[in-house]
Structure 1
Amino acid sequence: MAGFGGMISVRLKGDDEFARAVIKRSHLFTLAESLGGVESLISQPYSMTHASIPLETRLKHGITPQLLRLSVGIEDTEDLIADLDQALNG
């Protein structure tokens, strides 16, 4: 791989319910806590990987329900973009 890595975090406008809806509507990004695979993944650190961290600490460091982490896999770029677009716009 040359250039950029395949992991990004995004902060959504909206509430926890909206973030969960985006995750649910995604068809190509699998909800999972994993690294190193070839498939695209989506996670909500607030309720998954960082759930055991005290709430005050999570919020202090910007780990809110609106924060989603994407691990971009080897699927077609245009397909991934289209999937995120439909997931975000419902």
Structure 2
Amino acid sequence: MLSFDLAGGREAARTFTESVRLAALAPSLGSVQTLILHPASTSHRQLDDAALAAAGISPGTVRVAVGVEHPEDLWSDLAQALAKI
């Protein structure tokens, strides 16, 4: 599991999560497949910006639960998605 904040907030997170090919966008992080979650629009969507900040979540926070795919395939997928931001 890893978490990172993308400069550009919600729009950057949306672009990133829509651009990954190997990983799947998911509301939960439990699978053998790599899953990506944007907490501000899924698991924590009921929180306002102040509550998100108090929980340590920015509008650009993305969480990745790494699965069993080949590491080089994952790096390539994440890199191409980051390049679109």
Q: TM-score, normalised by structure 1?
A: 0.84
State which of 22, 39, 44 in structure 1 corresponds to 2:38.
Answer: 44
Tell me what 2:64 maps to.
70
Q: More helix per residue: 1 or 2? A: 2
Higher Cα Rg, which structure? 1
Question: What is the Cα deviation at residue 11 of structure 1?
Answer: 0.9
Distance 1:15 1:34 in 2: 21
Runs of 5+ in structure 2 lacking a partner? Answer: none
Q: How many residues of Structure 1 are paired with residues of Structure 2 in the alignment?
A: 84
Q: d(CA) in 1 for partners of 2:13 and 2:60?
A: 6
Q: Deviations over 1:21-61 (max 9, x none)?
A: 01111001100022331000001011110112343211223
Q: How far apart in 2 are the matches of 1:34 and 1:15?
A: 21
1:86 matches 2:80: yes
1:29 and 2:23 correspond: yes
1: CA distance, partners of 2:20 / 2:6? 14
TM-score under structure 2 normalisation?
0.89
